[in-house]
Structure 1
Amino acid sequence: MSGHFKNIYFSRNYATLAFAILSIFIFNGNTGCGTSPNHHPFVKTQAADYSGLSWTQAYDAFHALMQKQYAFSDWKSINWNTLDNTIRPKVVAAEAAVNADNYINALLEYTRSIPDGHVTWNSTAINGITTNTKGTYGLGIIGLDDGKVIANFVKAGGPANAAGIDVGSEITHWDGVPIATAVSQASTIWRPNPASIATNEHTILEQYRALALDPVGTNITVTYFKADGTGPFVTPALAAADDGGEVEFRTRLWDRVDEADPIKYEVLASGYGYIQLGTLESDDISFDQLFDKFKEAMEFLTGRNVPGIIIDLRANGGGSDELAAKISGFFYSERTFYEYQNIYNAYNEQREILLPSPDDTYILGWGLPLNIMPQYPQFRGPIVGIVNPDSVSSAEGVAMTIQNLENGYIVSFYGTNGSFGMTGGEAKIPLGYTISFPNGQSLDINKEVQLDSQNGIGGITPDVRVPKTSARMIDYANRVDTELAYAVDFLNSL
């Protein structure tokens, strides 16, 4: 998945085991096939191409593929028949009317109905729907711990500002509807992100954004109290206007990852070490280079005897399982279980626990786990991880290994994405779109699904929640790193 979602990579600590296994199993380095203890091969899935079919034929084929391969049908209680009964008539109608927008809308509704951040479209699809989120009313809104909803950003000269709303104003009604109700009813189908949403927490965050992002020309009124407490006031009709993406930017989750240099480190003014771990896979930076850069960071920080380390995983879209486990080894003094890989085998159309080679060309063994192996230099002091719902997949694995440490903590506003499966399913559909989905599972030591959301709950929940106060959320919208400041305060409290 080109660096943004979890791929099937495995620990190179098993590399020496390969020589022994090669004498037992049969491998084909060109196809990635191997023979199991039950004497059947493993065959990797290939992308399905339905792009040459009619719209309805392509939908039917894609729906059948999802039922067969999607990794969490039972875990997430997906009712495929109900979903099909809702979406298929819309696809048929769109094809009859030759309405491409309605066709894509129906398929987008289909994928958004599956609560999994690994169910995603290629970027072309998102480029096609931006007109539905291009307009804004010149403000962003967010919920606080005390239940209030405030304007944490107001664009100077925008519709909301012209109507008297200021930063910190409490919003009580949206177009005449109580704000809590309006938020709960907001649709996230047009959110400016190609992936589905996995957790209830993430859904609510995107619903706040959905109210602030509308098609240009949409009109609403807002009831509010000004930041000084005066009010209530009701605005005249506010017309959504194109603001060049400013509100969309100010309401997004924290993301300062530099794709060209995703791992950065420093000693903070507080004396604590800081590592931004922005990815676990890159098209331009090799596995070894990423690991070496993290090791360089650890050598730099331990060489300066930092009393604690903060690892920033916000907006880390995941990548290599092997790299996640290997990086975690700097904080583990003994070999420790990380996960079982339950991978879809196209040969028998079943998921099986196996461990492929690091380059994913042959099988190291069947039934083997991926383990965390100690790395050096070791750090045994307190470790704080910072995450958000854009911390996806293998990034969630690193957060898990931090949280499992006796002196490891997650300190954040929000939890992680709740999508820890393995990508591998893919289908090309008409009009140039591609939809990807997970067909493999990560299992815990008891061989149960781990971290993937169920009933809206999943991922890594912070040990310490950063309080969502008006001042912090306003600073956050202005790109002030209030989470990092709180993480430092937390370390000082230990």
Structure 2
Amino acid sequence: MPRRFFKFLQTVLALALIASLTVTPMARAQDDPPPPAEIVNDEGGAVSITGEVPYTNSFFTLGVAQPLVILEDQAGFVDRNEHFLMPLASQTLGQITSDFFTSPFSYSIALPIEPQGSLRDVDQDTAEEPGVQIFAIAYWTNTFGEPFLEQRDLYGGGWSTAYASTRVSEDADTEREITGGQFLVYAPDDAQGFSSGFGEDGLLFTADDPVVTLPQGYTIVNMDTDPFTFDRSRHPVIDLIEPEGAALVDLSGESYPDAFNQFIDILAKEYAFTDYKEIDWEAKRAEFLPLFQEAADKQDSQAYLRALRDFAWSIPDGHVSGPFLPDDFSFATAGGLGIAIRELDDGRVIATFVLEGSKAAEAGIAPGTEILAFNDIPIDAVIDEAVAWSAPFSTAHFERLQKLRYATRFAAGVESASVTFLDEKGEETTVELAVTGERDSFNFSSFNVGKTGFELPVEYKLLKESNYGYVKINSFADNDLLSVQLWERLMRTLNDNGVQGLIIDMRQNAGGSGFLADQMAAYFFDEDHVLGNTGRYDKSRDEFYFDPRSEEVFYLPADELRYGGEVAVLIGPNCNSACEFFTYDMTIDSRAAVVGHYPTAGLGGSVKQIRLPENEQFQYTGGRAVDANGEIHIEGKGVPPTVAVPVNEETLLTDDDVILNTAIAWLDEQLALEITNGGDLVVGDEVEGELTPGVRVRYTLTVAEGDVLNILAASDEMNMLLTIYDLADNPLLSNDDLIEGDFNAGWTELEIPADLTLIVEVSSAGDDETGSYTLTIEDAKE
């Protein structure tokens, strides 16, 4: 071959080698030590760190009882291990040194002489070396277990993506990669290397990183400079970073119309259920923008707030919340008739409350009276046109129930209204009733009736009649730490006492943390089920994205904290959001019966807030929740009862808690109580019988309208329980103490409203006693 060809070939090979070194970086050779880092502020290394944690997110403090600022071991990021759990020994806890509930709050961390983090060799050479310990300063909240972070506190593990000293990418191509901010690095000696830049790939701790050698001890690494800055100050100040995706969007400085226009643009991209609910945002812009422009032209803040409220009401989503105008509310609902109404399963509307001494009562309206019309307008149309000030709603059933409340309210200045009803003879009657300022009827129909604000987040007791546990979860937005402590105490108490059945009352739970709700449900399972996922608008992808790494799962508690008995969950339309996720979780593998009149509220997503003019915080749904199959499972539907309680006169016109009694009856059935047939009874009968543990005796009793009865179960050996059911097995009445402290059970002078066939059930109060009894049915008139 000609010599020049060899020269050409050598040149080509040399160029190819250079190209290969550029395209595919190789690890440094073992005998090529990196240069020492250029140190600024060389004071020997940090001994303490102080700083501030700013936050604008409205939900940052929600439920938080034990906030923590810690040294967060970054071995999970180095390894790109999403499930890395920081060792307890590595978690150096700081002190919060100002009011946590005022942003920004300050912190201080006294550094240990030698930290106990995970060592990682990141100098990209081929030698095996001890490596360095890498920490971020990070904010967390402790909810579970001891005052350190465990798997549940860490949401399964990994590394912080918000409120840390590091800046984390939110772009699709580099999502969760650390792209800036500051590390605290500890080198056990002066021979350990560390990256001094991101390299050409823009990623940290990869083969193309330039590397320097760190001095022994602590060094602060600032990744916002190129090359990185290495600081050895004794008392560095490091403020944590609130990422753009978590920060509150603030449009409060804009004009009314400009803020509204920008907000519509945001909702068109970020609202979670636009297609599902068939919302046309441009149509809403055209409908409401003139109202905001008019309010701006007139400088009328009240007109602006009313426009914003009406806009919120136009979105069929119970998570959406705009301004509440108390003066408008008080004016619109100022008057009442002294009655509350409900709609039955058969479509009739009846009075469920009549104010004692009211004109309605004097006119012959009583609980159970069928209401036909107000002001000659059919009652169905009245309900349809009622304005429910608790709007908007995700489900038609909850909207209907709230409209029933507001249908009986009248604006200030209305003096009277006509009411058409069926009187006690079944004849149609119309009366004119004065509208007064009474609010008793309105309060009676509230789905929060009885709540005082003094409740604990979790309250429980033992039902003495059945020996079942009863727990009411009032909120998932209270003190999370206290909620879990009470919850775990309940689990231990149930297990220690061998309680066979548990009733969980969720009927007045307005929601809160969906994660907390899921993890509290985990105490009833032995498998870490996948529960679903939540998709959010991803700016870099310009679409809703469900990150497979964010699947919601159970993180199971310790074996001794799990409860394996039968469970019934009580629900209603005032079970909202996180309450519904808990209820849905309990339907997995049919773990619990769900008992109620109606499905839950149907709020199936996570929320965001935005600040608008007049300092208004507007809430909307930004997260689309789906089940493990990717299907929308709660929004617009709610969780339906698996044990449906009918809505009729018998279930509404009683002081008994019919839903609770139905749950007790279901638990009894599941726990294989033996029900024996005692035969038929008539008024005047007296029968004797025997009970053994787990046995109940039922008798069929025929009664007539107008009967007044004394029904008594007596025993000298057992604490008796007497329960009356209808033929559909719905419990109507229950009593275990005719006289306080007495063994006997029953009722005296019980008035019978109609010709009925009843089931009278005799049992011992705990289903655990043996003895004889006497059941007496006598006419109280004689």
Same fold, TM-score > 0.5, yes or no? yes
Asked if residue 205 in structure 1 is aligned to residue 340 in structure 2, the reply is: no
Q: Deviation per CA, 1:80-132, whole angstroms, max 9, x where unpaired? A: 1222232223333444455544433322221112111111136x545653321
Residue 201 of structure 1: how far off its partner (Å): 0.4
Correspondence for 2:686: none
Correspondence for 1:115: 316
Asked if residue 273 in structure 1 is aligned to residue 408 in structure 2, the reply is: no
Instruction: Say which structure is richer in strand.
Output: 2
Residue 241 of structure 1: how far off its partner (Å): 2.4
8 Å CA contact 1:310–1:385 kept in 2: the answer is: yes
**TM-score, scaled to structure 1:** 0.84
Q: C-alpha separation between the residues in 2 aligned to 1:4 and 1:205?
A: 33
Q: C-alpha separation between the residues in 2 aligned to 1:434 and 1:100?
A: 15
Residue 418 of structure 1: how far off its partner (Å): 0.7
Gap change, CA 1:159 and 1:52, over 3 Å in 2: farther
Aligned partner of 1:65: which letter? I
8 Å CA contact 2:535–2:544 kept in 1: the answer is: yes
* Deviating more after overlay: 105-114 vs 392-401: 105-114
Q: Deviation per CA, 1:16-51, whole angstroms, max 9, x where unpaired? A: 7977x44xx977615874566721467424323333
Correspondence for 1:410: 594
Which of 413, 417, 421 does residue 224 from structure 1 map onto?
421
Gap change, CA 1:97 and 1:303, over 3 Å in 2: same
Q: C-alpha separation between the residues in 2 aligned to 1:34 and 1:6?
A: 27
Gap change, CA 1:26 and 1:482, over 3 Å in 2: closer
Asked if residue 452 in structure 1 is aligned to residue 649 in structure 2, the reply is: no
Correspondence for 2:103: none
Q: C-alpha separation between the residues in 2 aligned to 1:32 and 1:168?
A: 63
Asked if residue 80 in structure 1 is aligned to residue 262 in structure 2, the reply is: no
Gap change, CA 1:94 and 1:16, over 3 Å in 2: closer
Aligned partner of 2:603: which letter? S
8 Å CA contact 1:47–1:425 kept in 2: the answer is: yes
Residue 337 of structure 1: how far off its partner (Å): 0.9
Q: Residue 439 of structure 1: SS of its match in structure 2?
A: strand
Gap change, CA 1:255 and 1:278, over 3 Å in 2: farther
Aligned partner of 2:266: which letter? L
Q: Deviation per CA, 1:62-96, whole angstroms, max 9, x where unpaired? A: 32222232111112111112222322233334444
Q: Residue 384 of structure 1: SS of its match in structure 2?
A: strand
* Deviating more after overlay: 3-12 vs 198-207: 3-12
8 Å CA contact 1:51–1:429 kept in 2: the answer is: yes
Asked if residue 233 in structure 1 is aligned to residue 423 in structure 2, the reply is: no
Correspondence for 2:533: 340
Higher relative contact order (CA 8 A, sep 6+): 1
Correspondence for 2:575: 391
Q: Residue 434 of structure 1: SS of its match in structure 2?
A: strand
Which of 254, 274, 286 does residue 53 from structure 1 map onto?
254
8 Å CA contact 1:120–1:435 kept in 2: the answer is: yes
Q: C-alpha separation between the residues in 1 aligned to 2:267 and 2:59?
A: 21
Residue 264 of structure 1: how far off its partner (Å): 0.8
Gap change, CA 1:78 and 1:407, over 3 Å in 2: same
Correspondence for 1:321: 514
Correspondence for 1:13: 151
Structure 2, unaligned stretches of length 5 or more? 1-57, 65-139, 145-149, 177-242, 671-782
8 Å CA contact 1:216–1:239 kept in 2: the answer is: no
Aligned partner of 1:251: which letter? S
**TM-score, scaled to structure 2:** 0.54
Q: Deviation per CA, 1:457-481, whole angstroms, max 9, x where unpaired? A: x110111221112243233xx6x53
Q: Which has the larger radius of gyration?
A: 2
Asked if residue 367 in structure 1 is aligned to residue 502 in structure 2, the reply is: no
Q: Residue 242 of structure 1: SS of its match in structure 2?
A: coil
Gap change, CA 1:36 and 1:435, over 3 Å in 2: closer
RMSD: 3.1
Asked if residue 290 in structure 1 is aligned to residue 474 in structure 2, the reply is: no
Matches within 5 A, 1:427-442: 427-430=611-614, 432-442=615-625
8 Å CA contact 1:345–1:351 kept in 2: the answer is: yes
Residue 141 of structure 1: how far off its partner (Å): 0.6
* Deviating more after overlay: 87-96 vs 6-15: 6-15
Residue 336 of structure 1: how far off its partner (Å): 0.6
8 Å CA contact 2:500–2:566 kept in 1: the answer is: yes
Aligned partner of 2:254: which letter? L
Q: C-alpha separation between the residues in 1 aligned to 2:294 and 2:653?
A: 45
Correspondence for 1:70: 271
Q: C-alpha separation between the residues in 1 aligned to 2:292 and 2:431?
A: 40
Q: C-alpha separation between the residues in 2 aligned to 1:72 and 1:249?
A: 33
Asked if residue 464 in structure 1 is aligned to residue 640 in structure 2, the reply is: no
Q: Residue 405 of structure 1: SS of its match in structure 2?
A: helix
Correspondence for 2:344: 144
Residue 321 of structure 1: how far off its partner (Å): 2.2
Residue 417 of structure 1: how far off its partner (Å): 1.1
Residue 339 of structure 1: how far off its partner (Å): 2.3
Aligned partner of 2:151: which letter? N
Q: C-alpha separation between the residues in 1 aligned to 2:153 and 2:383?
A: 51
8 Å CA contact 1:418–1:459 kept in 2: the answer is: yes
Gap change, CA 1:471 and 1:448, over 3 Å in 2: closer
Q: C-alpha separation between the residues in 1 aligned to 2:580 and 2:546?
A: 21
* Deviating more after overlay: 370-379 vs 410-419: 370-379
Residue 142 of structure 1: how far off its partner (Å): 0.5
Correspondence for 1:362: none
Aligned partner of 2:377: which letter? V
Residue 196 of structure 1: how far off its partner (Å): 1.9
Gap change, CA 1:31 and 1:232, over 3 Å in 2: farther
Correspondence for 1:361: none
Correspondence for 1:181: 381
Q: Residue 319 of structure 2: SS of its match in structure 1?
A: coil
Correspondence for 2:458: 263
Q: C-alpha separation between the residues in 1 aligned to 2:248 and 2:161?
A: 25
Q: C-alpha separation between the residues in 2 aligned to 1:225 and 1:17?
A: 58
Q: Deviation per CA, 1:140-160, whole angstroms, max 9, x where unpaired? A: 110112221111111123342
Gap change, CA 1:203 and 1:374, over 3 Å in 2: same
Which of 655, 667, 676 does residue 491 from structure 1 map onto?
667
Percent sequence identity over matched residues? 23
Q: C-alpha separation between the residues in 1 aligned to 2:283 and 2:169?
A: 38
Residue 385 of structure 1: how far off its partner (Å): 0.7
Aligned partner of 2:484: which letter? F
Q: C-alpha separation between the residues in 1 aligned to 2:170 and 2:281?
A: 33
Report how many residues are paired.
461
Matches within 5 A, 1:244-259: 245-257=439-451, 258=453
Q: C-alpha separation between the residues in 2 aligned to 1:428 and 1:487?
A: 46
Asked if residue 156 in structure 1 is aligned to residue 352 in structure 2, the reply is: no
